[in-house]
Structure 1
Amino acid sequence: MTLNFFDQFASPTFLGIPLIALALTLPWILYPSPSSRWLNNRLLTLQSLFINRFTQQLLLPLNLGGHKWAILLTSLMLFLITLNMLGLFTLYFTPTTQLSMNMGFAVPLWLATVIIGMRNQPTHALGHLLPEGTQTLLIPVLIIIETISLFIRPLALGVRLTANLTAGHLLIQLIATAAFVLLPLMTTVAILTTALLFMLTLLEVAVAMIQAYVFVLLISLYLQENI
């Protein structure tokens, strides 16, 4: 019996209870809490080093007003990268393959940056809708185009994250199925396919980390425009 390749993206249930809540809670359990000791262990030291370096890199182009978002953006980065990495393990559901969840992250954060821009500097925020030096006849057309591009931003954030992870998981499953089917028929081809699967898995690990970083980086760039 051949299973549907898209079954892996369906939210699992146990006794009628959706397990997506457990999948969303698991990342926070994996990270150790900082201790009150003078010297931390190696894991806590490495974790603190990663968080500090990422926060410094993320806040580098932002003004002082954007530094208030440091905890939110860093937590979001850790959350997304952990969900993406755990999704590569067998029998684990990947919540970030759901467009509804990614849009739930993208829309409120994007809307918050727009509201901040409209409240703090409305003239500068509205000035993004019309480039300087535009001819009079092109003003209505450019305003419509820039407005549409502004509202497309959260959709692009959610779709980019969903599409990259979904495509990677589908490709891994297709190649793994091909290797399993070819093993009794053409052993050499099956071994080569397995080697390709291993390299693709390494690539998917990189994609899982990069997409989480890109998601948070774009939000910080939207925030930079409105501060």
Structure 2
Amino acid sequence: MTVSLFDQFESPSLFHISLITIAIILPIALHLSSTGRWAENRHLTVQTWTLAQIVRDIFSPMNFNGHKWAPLLTALMVFLITMNTLGLLPYTFTPTTQLSMNLGLAFPLWFSTVALGLRHRPTESLGHLLPEGTPTPLIPILIIIETISLFIRPFALGVRITANLTAGHLLIHLISAGVWAMLFMMPPIALISMTVLFLLSILEVAVAVIQAYVFVLLLSLYLQENV
């Protein structure tokens, strides 16, 4: 029986019950909430400090109206980072390798930023469709191009994180299968491949974190254009 490499990205089920819901809810249980004490434990201290740095870097260029989105986007980034990194563990499932889920996160948030701009700053929001100083003959063409690029944004958000995580998982799967096949036939080559696999796993942890950060950063840039 031939098994496709992409079978690992299918939503797993147990007793005909999809486990993707558990994979989505599990990250919530792994993060601590503040207790209000003067001295917190190390885990909570590092978590709070990291979130504070991320919020400062993302929202410092924005005006005050954009700061209202800080809790939502910060929670989204923590959620994505946790799911992405948990998916690198053996016998686990990464929900963010599903394009449908990523588009389900990207499209409503992107549409909210656009609707916010059209409601509060319609002139400035529509002005992004036509760069200043455009020659008159190019105005219709540029408006069409900018409109298309505007509607492509949520698809680019979803496809970017899906493609990066899927490519990394596939590469890890292929190298690990090669290590197992060469373990008894060519042990030195298998050892070298195992070293490469270890380094690739570290790289994938970085990719999982960076892709979540980029996802939220791009959303914040779209928000910055409309607030």
The question of a shared fold, defined as TM-score above 0.5 by the shorter chain, is answered with yes
Q: Which residue of 1 aligns with 2:99?
A: 99
Query: Distance in 2 between the 1:88 and 1:2 partners?
Result: 24
Q: Which residue of 1 aligns with 2:54?
A: 54
Query: Distance in 2 between the 1:58 and 1:131 partners?
Result: 25
Query: Distance in 1 between the 2:27 and 2:144 partners?
Result: 41
Q: Secondary structure at the match of 1:132?
A: coil
Q: Which residue of 2 aligns with 1:156?
A: 156
Amino acid across the alignment from 1:60: S
Q: Which residue of 1 aligns with 2:87?
A: 87
Q: Secondary structure at the match of 2:68?
A: helix
Query: Distance in 1 between the 2:161 and 2:113 partners?
Result: 20
Q: Which residue of 2 aligns with 1:108?
A: 108
Higher mean displacement: 20-29 or 127-136: 127-136
Query: Distance in 2 between the 1:22 and 1:157 partners?
Result: 24
Aligned pair count reads: 227
Post-superposition Cα deviations, 1:29-57, rounded to whole Å, max 9, x if no partner, equal: 01122213222111111111111111111
Give TM-score scaled by structure 1 length.
0.98
Q: Which residue of 1 aligns with 2:144?
A: 144
Post-superposition Cα deviations, 1:32-87, rounded to whole Å, max 9, x if no partner, equal: 22213222111111111111111111111111000000100100010000000001
Higher mean displacement: 176-185 or 94-103: 176-185
Q: Which residue of 2 aligns with 1:206?
A: 206
Query: Distance in 1 between the 2:2 and 2:16 partners?
Result: 25
> Structure 2: 5+ residue runs without aligned partners?
none
Query: Distance in 1 between the 2:211 and 2:36 partners?
Result: 34
Give TM-score scaled by structure 2 length.
0.98
Query: Distance in 1 between the 2:226 and 2:38 partners?
Result: 40
Amino acid across the alignment from 1:214: V
Moved over 2 A (4+): 1-4
> Structure 1: 5+ residue runs without aligned partners?
none
Query: Distance in 2 between the 1:25 and 1:223 partners?
Result: 27
* Two-structure CA RMSD over aligned residues (Å): 0.9
Q: Which residue of 2 aligns with 1:3?
A: 3
Higher mean displacement: 2-11 or 78-87: 2-11
Amino acid across the alignment from 1:118: L
Post-superposition shift, 1:127?
Answer: 0.5
Query: Distance in 2 between the 1:56 and 1:165 partners?
Result: 27
Query: Distance in 2 between the 1:195 and 1:42 partners?
Result: 32
Query: Distance in 1 between the 2:42 and 2:130 partners?
Result: 52
Q: Which residue of 2 aligns with 1:186?
A: 186
Query: Distance in 1 between the 2:224 and 2:179 partners?
Result: 47
For 1:68-87, what aligned pairs fall within 5 Å after superposition? Answer: 68-87=68-87
